[in-house]
Structure 1
Amino acid sequence: MSGPLVVVGDSLLDRDVTGAVGRICPDAPVPVFDERSATDRPGGAGLAALLAAAQDSEVALVTALADDAGGARLAELLAAAGVEVYPMHLPGPTAEKIRLRAGGQTLLRLDRGGDPQPPREPSEAVRELLTRARAILVSDYGRGLLRQPTLRAALAEATAPLVWDPHPRGPAAVPGARLTTPNVAELRQLTGDAGAGSALSTATRAGHELRRRWRAGAVAVTMGAEGAVLCHSGSAPLVVPPPSSLDRVEDTCGAGDRFAATATLALGDGAPVAEAVGAAVAAASAYVAAGGAAGLHREAAEPRPTLAAARTAEELVAKVRADGGTVVATGGCFDILHAGHVATLQAARRLGDCLVVCLNSDRSVRGLKGPERPVNPQADRARLLAALDCVDAVVVFDEPTPHQVLARLRPAVWVKGGDYARDGAAELPEADLVQRWGGKVVTVPYLAGRSTTGTISAARKRGLHLVKGAV
């Protein structure tokens, strides 16, 4: 579906002030906070739009902006992130949330802006935008934008998939929302549920109640480190756990926004609700693991993550290289993972201290193998590879060759399966590039008779044989 992802909701100006506490104030028994740096970022619906834009999506934000320095700063930050803003006039000052942080923890939050003021009417441009949206995310932060009657009417008439991320102080979702995404605490306040029993039973009971009251298609109850519970038309809820446990949680601010934005993008692409919620859980977990909102503007002076905590190939490579280790990389389509692939990957991993797999994207595979390939999409291929113990990171590249990603990672060893040598290739095509930074190019033993093309051909022949036998 074409058109932008449209985020609708209350925006705030968030400021993280980082410093240190090392003494007590002489005139009162309170700690003294020494400011070292400060970083501004969009908050509320602005953060949801920022996170959606970071996923290479066209994003438009409908929000109320005040005519003050805070509103101007919000507009500047959103424009820099590639978010197109459709403002509604906000009387009064911009709401600001200032967090004082030290040692990776929030010590105090200071709120500015006072009581919310009702915004003015949405423009014709806003109403037209909602009619051509690819998907709509309502990010309610309880400051009154979603109570605006004309805006609510336009949302109710929109035909795009609508996700409603509610706030206990906000209004009910418009009828017909495809998905609503409260956390457990919000859900209890919205329904008045006392929370008897386990968290799962509360999420299921109250989730179905909210779905009934709001006439929503489904309710995804986010449960922090436990993932999400999807209450839909079926009798049994769908429990979606995170892909892995978090060793250390630094800052969960914005995790709900990341969840809602990812789910909305997936629905806009035509995904079923269950699949969209699964993608949202994985994205929110990765966001928290990377440091949450604090990780959006991490200072270069902070310590690098450990190997176990590295979340990107770049972080992994930097850590291994800083520790004096050897970075190994290999690449390919890995369309149907077979024993030959595993043998190559295991052999490659033994050559160093980490193995990064450079994976051809779907478009790249089509260019190399033809329009019927790949059999498996890149997200599935990357997930299978990452699940192998011998693989430490996976990088997807869109070009015909891995030259660009290799130039970025600069591995010490570049590995290909021994089928290249068997086929008589005098030199691997990446050899000149890798040797520029002193890297080595090697091949490793390859299991004969294993290939994706052969597997596909054998499956087709077997299918044809079975069809003939049935006739």
Structure 2
Amino acid sequence: MRIVVVGDVLLDTDLSGGAGRLSPDAPVPVVDVDAVRRRAGGAGLVARMLQADGHEAVLVTVLGDDAAAGLLRAELEGITVIAGPSGAPTPVKTRVRASGQPVVRFDEGCATPPVPGCTADMLAALEDADAVIAADYGRGLLADEELRVRLEALTASTPVVWDPHPAGARPVPGVAAVTPNLGEALRFAGLAGTGTTGAASAAEVLLADWGSRAVIVTMGEHGALVAASGLLPQVVPAPRVTATDPCGAGDRFASALAVGLAAGMTTDSAAQQATEAAAQFLAAGGVGAMGGRREDAPRQLPVDGLDALTVAQRTRDAGGTVVATGGCFDLLHAGHARTLAAARRLGDCLIVCLNSDESVRGLKGEHRPIIKQEDRAELLSALECVDAVLVFGEPTPENAISRLQPDIWVKGGDYAAEDLPEAALVSSWGGRTVTVPYIPARSTTKLAAALARVG
């Protein structure tokens, strides 16, 4: 797809390193910087996300002529950039991270600039787009009247997604969706409130005020609320993820939403896709993981966006204990729930290694599993005691265990060490294999037979 992103760009810089001592001048940590990473921010980040997804990303923006602009152009390499002069310094946001945790951010060149002009080439680049994303970062480009007239004309034939900014311009009428977060929506609407109720009230006001086809209020871990004229608001729940830095989630939401609308999806279906994409983005490390080499991992199901390897690593980094268990979990019953809850109490996270459908068939015959692996994984993920699910296709979980390297591997029932070949594997890195009580009165086989009897 050809997706045009129009809006303000900035340069994001991450300085990261260890922090094992305090400064003698003040009670602040000393960060020994060992890595400097730069990336395009704002509309540039949205374009980079689209390019990474395999789409033709065209970035329509304005750029300065300072040294920071040169660095920003380098980070936009590979993206079609149609840029006019900004007439202002390039905004630079520098984050300092100590042992992976944000410590402070410095902003340079971020004073409000004059509204930049829009060249003929910039306007022409908007044509023949499958979708347009207006990524407003309060730098004035989307306040240009000629650009606004062109965008409003496009809304009749092209999905336009408008990601607003508190210091930015009003969305033009007729856009397919405006995507404020909850705080922004309440501020734009002049309301006070919280949660779903606040989002619904703000969306109702903004639909009437902005004249857009839909307002989608993103609510972080609580998902998104989709409001359209004449319809009851719909809440799209967010997958449960572990994330320390939400930076970039709104950009990921807007990019995935635009792709869905360009593909002909309904607004609520596209919002569901966008919510899942934002969760997966955060679970994979967010902006901090963009551009880095990623090691191949065992198959992960996009049930809730959780990456089991990421959960395990973050737990270790925090000094916690990683617990894992495995099985088919074909028909989830009370015995499973008790075993999983008992396993979770042994550490700081619980990862379930789940046999794939193919693996279950090899172990239990062609009539199993009864429930497909996507649904089994979703049911497990819904349990409060389960932090992540990892699906493996082999008959036994040794390969998955090797990648996770849990501190504790849990089995339900009474086993001798020689009965569990994975016990030796787990002990090879200093881990322990333990058992928790098994409830013989509950079993998938008995439950399946009972269901068969009642038809």
Q: Same fold (TM over 0.5)?
A: yes
SS in 2 for 1:90: strand
SS in 2 for 1:169: coil
The answer on whether the counterparts of 1:105 and 1:251 sit within 8 Å (CA) in structure 2 is no
SS in 1 for 2:85: coil
Q: 1:355 aligns with which of 334, 350, 357?
A: 350
Name the counterpart of 1:393. 388
Name the counterpart of 1:152. 151
**Superposed counterparts of 1:308-387, under 5 Å:** 313-314=308-309, 317-318=312-313, 327-346=322-341, 348-349=343-344, 354-360=349-355, 375=371, 378=374, 381-387=376-382
Cα offsets for 1:416-466 (capped at 9, x unmatched): 5669x9xxxx96676775565465667764636632x7756765764xx5x
SS in 1 for 2:401: helix
Residue 329 of structure 1 and its aligned partner are, at CA, apart by 2.1
The verdict on how the C-alpha distance between 1:328 and 1:150 changes in structure 2, with shifts beyond 3 A counting, is same
Distance 1:57 1:365 in 2: 32
SS in 2 for 1:170: coil
Name the counterpart of 2:440. 447
SS in 2 for 1:408: helix
The answer on whether the counterparts of 2:249 and 2:282 sit within 8 Å (CA) in structure 1 is yes
The verdict on how the C-alpha distance between 1:395 and 1:174 changes in structure 2, with shifts beyond 3 A counting, is farther
Cα offsets for 1:153-175 (capped at 9, x unmatched): 7953656x653212453353462
- Which amino acid in the other structure matches residue 62 of structure 1? V
Residue 399 of structure 1 and its aligned partner are, at CA, apart by 6.9
The answer on whether the counterparts of 2:409 and 2:426 sit within 8 Å (CA) in structure 1 is yes
Residue 101 of structure 1 and its aligned partner are, at CA, apart by 5.0
Name the counterpart of 1:77. 75
The answer on whether the counterparts of 1:46 and 1:61 sit within 8 Å (CA) in structure 2 is no
Cα offsets for 1:108-138 (capped at 9, x unmatched): 422269543424425988745x34xxx6644
- Which amino acid in the other structure matches residue 75 of structure 2? L
Residue 181 of structure 1 and its aligned partner are, at CA, apart by 0.7
- Count of residues paired in the alignment: 419
- Which amino acid in the other structure matches residue 155 of structure 2? A
Residue 87 of structure 1 and its aligned partner are, at CA, apart by 1.6
Residue 220 of structure 1 and its aligned partner are, at CA, apart by 1.7
Name the counterpart of 1:15. 13
The answer on whether the counterparts of 1:362 and 1:377 sit within 8 Å (CA) in structure 2 is yes
**TM-score normalised by structure 1 residue count:** 0.64
Name the counterpart of 2:84. 90
The verdict on how the C-alpha distance between 1:294 and 1:325 changes in structure 2, with shifts beyond 3 A counting, is closer
**Superposed counterparts of 1:71-470, under 5 Å:** 73-78=71-76, 85-92=79-86, 95-99=90-94, 101=96, 104-106=102-104, 108-111=106-109, 114-115=113-114, 116-122=116-122, 127-128=127-128, 130-131=129-130, 137-142=133-138, 143-144=140-141, 148=147, 152=151, 155-156=154-155, 162-167=160-165, 169-170=168-169, 172-173=171-172, 175=174, 177=176, 179-183=177-181, 186-187=184-185, 193-195=189-191, 198=193, 203-212=199-208, 214-222=210-218, 228-234=224-230, 236-238=232-234, 253-261=247-255, 263-264=257-258, 273-274=267-268, 277=271, 313-314=308-309, 317-318=312-313, 327-346=322-341, 348-349=343-344, 354-360=349-355, 375=371, 378=374, 381-397=376-392, 402-415=397-410, 434=426, 437=429, 445=438, 447=440, 450-451=443-444, 459=451, 462=454, 465=455
Distance 1:221 1:96 in 2: 27
SS in 2 for 1:121: helix
Distance 1:456 1:183 in 2: 45
SS in 2 for 1:118: coil
Cα offsets for 1:233-290 (capped at 9, x unmatched): 45643456767899xx976543432443454566678876446556756776787899
- Which amino acid in the other structure matches residue 11 of structure 1? V
Gaps of 5+ in 1: 25-30, 299-310, 466-471
Percentage of matched positions with identical amino acids: 40
Root-mean-square deviation (Å): 5.4
The verdict on how the C-alpha distance between 1:253 and 1:317 changes in structure 2, with shifts beyond 3 A counting, is closer
The verdict on how the C-alpha distance between 1:154 and 1:21 changes in structure 2, with shifts beyond 3 A counting, is farther
- Which amino acid in the other structure matches residue 109 of structure 2? D
The answer on whether the counterparts of 2:63 and 2:90 sit within 8 Å (CA) in structure 1 is no
Q: Which moved more, 1:354-363 or 1:277-286?
A: 277-286
The answer on whether the counterparts of 1:65 and 1:71 sit within 8 Å (CA) in structure 2 is no
The verdict on how the C-alpha distance between 1:48 and 1:337 changes in structure 2, with shifts beyond 3 A counting, is farther
**TM-score normalised by structure 2 residue count:** 0.65
Distance 1:153 1:372 in 2: 54
- Which amino acid in the other structure matches residue 400 of structure 2? V
- Which amino acid in the other structure matches residue 411 of structure 1? P
Q: Which moved more, 1:164-173 or 1:65-74?
A: 65-74
- Which amino acid in the other structure matches residue 90 of structure 1? G
Distance 1:16 1:22 in 2: 24
- Which amino acid in the other structure matches residue 9 of structure 2? S
Name the counterpart of 1:468. none
The verdict on how the C-alpha distance between 1:97 and 1:57 changes in structure 2, with shifts beyond 3 A counting, is same
Q: Which moved more, 1:365-374 or 1:350-359?
A: 365-374
SS in 1 for 2:174: coil
The verdict on how the C-alpha distance between 1:150 and 1:332 changes in structure 2, with shifts beyond 3 A counting, is farther
Name the counterpart of 1:28. none
- Which amino acid in the other structure matches residue 450 of structure 1? S
